Amino acid sequence: MSKLVKERERGSLIVISGPSGCGKGTVIDGYLRTNRDHSWLSVSCTSRAMRPTDKDGVNYYFISKEEFEKKIKRNEFLEYTEYNGNYYGTPKEYIEERLASGIDVLLEIEVQGAMKVKELLPESIFIFIMPPSMEELRNRLVGRGTENIDSVFGRFKRAYKEINEYAKYNYVITNDEIDKAILKMQSIIISEKCRVDRIEEVYLANEEEEIHELLLDDKHFINKDVEI
């Protein structure tokens, strides 16, 4: 039996932002563990130095500032921004290909970059990950032990500005308990798939003859005196 509703096959672009230390990477990883078959995390490029726990091509594509600027001139980024003296950008390569094939693409990017994407692709899904409190955010940043106090202070100061931009997003998730935050992200994306504007066509046949045939072919009605 054919389906009544034909949904749009194109994947969704899901833009995820939040201040450094809010745990957005952990939430995304948790979501991908059970949704990897139909979701893909776009890997951004950056000119910042690698941290001890970083893996090139997994966390970011780490390139020099000079190479990044060459890519800007060649228009190879969907968006890019400068943060704490380093470039961050989303390469266009592979994104459109995956969306067209029905794969959801997740972008983990800064607020400034997210707003650039919103200008270009306003139909995307925008999710802001919020820390449970500023005190907890401070503890997470300091607890990393990978940056000096000036860098931590800069990130903490920027967090105030970024959090004030939350109203420009479609959804806000407070990451106080990681499992709940992952479930909220999954619920948001599922609900977006059910939107009416994702329906391409409804195959609704109202002809009386076809309705009669469907009912009369049903085994429950065979050899029964039923008037339709």
List the chain pLDDT tens, one digit each, 228 residues. Answer: 567 777 778 999 999 999 888 889 999 999 999 999 999 999 999 999 998 889 999 889 999 999 999 999 999 999 998 887 899 999 998 898 999 999 999 999 989 899 999 999 999 999 999 998 888 777 777 766 666 777 777 777 888 899 999 999 999 999 999 999 999 999 999 999 888 888 877 776 655 556 666 666 665 555 555 554
Looking at the chain, which residues constitute the CATH 3.40.50.300 domain(s)? 9-42+102-200
Coil, strand or helix at 52:
coil
Q: What are the structure tokens assigned to 133, written together?
A: 């409190």
Tokens of 194: 């059910």
164 contact partners, CB below 8 Å, separation of at least 6: none
**HEC string for 194-214:** CCHHHEEEECCCCCHHHHHHH
Q: Taking the domain 44-93, which CATH number applies?
A: 3.30.63.10
pLDDT at 205: 61
Torsion over CA of 173, 179, 184 and 186, rounded to 10 degrees? 130
Nearest CA-CA partner of 78 in 125, 28, 49, 114: 114
Q: Determine contact, residues 91/45, Cβ cutoff 8 Å.
A: yes
What superfamily in CATH does domain 9-42+102-200 come from? P-loop containing nucleotide triphosphate hydrolases (3.40.50.300)
In the chain, residues under CATH classification 3.30.63.10 are 44-93
Please give the angle made by the CA atoms of 44, 46 and 50, to the nearest 5 degrees: 110
Q: What is the pTM of this model?
A: 0.79
